[in-house]
Amino acid sequence: MLFHVRMDVQLPADLDPGERDALLAREKAYSQELQLDGRWPHLWRIAGEYANISIFDVASNDELHELLSGLPLFPHMRIHVTPLAHHPSDIHD
């Protein structure tokens, strides 16, 4: 199942710089693991915002929820999920 996911990050302004760096390093490692195993095939930054648009390819809504809630930045995110379906005019299978 494919999902379009927008993630907007809002880190606390008073977050300790060392804690921030460690949090971002964990986030990067976790997201790269999911990209390498194919469940997060597309990740784009939204220019001018601390946000991204991603495509996830997972087996179920529950799996997507588990992956998203496992993101180290999850407590600091606003997430919008849109399930995707094949378009009949698409020339790609």
pLDDT of residue 40: 98
pLDDT of residue 87: 94
Task: Assign domain 2-84 to its CATH superfamily.
Answer: Dimeric alpha+beta barrel (3.30.70.1060)
pLDDT of residue 39: 98
Mean pLDDT in order along the chain per 10 residues (93 residues): 98 96 98 98 98 98 98 98 96 84
How distant is the alpha carbon of residue 64 from its chain centre? Answer: 10
CB 5 within 8 A of CB 69: no
Domain boundaries defined on the chain: 2-84
CB 78 within 8 A of CB 17: no
Closest Cα partner for 37 from 54, 53, 56, 19?
56
Question: Nearest 5°: phi and psi at 5?
Answer: -130, 125
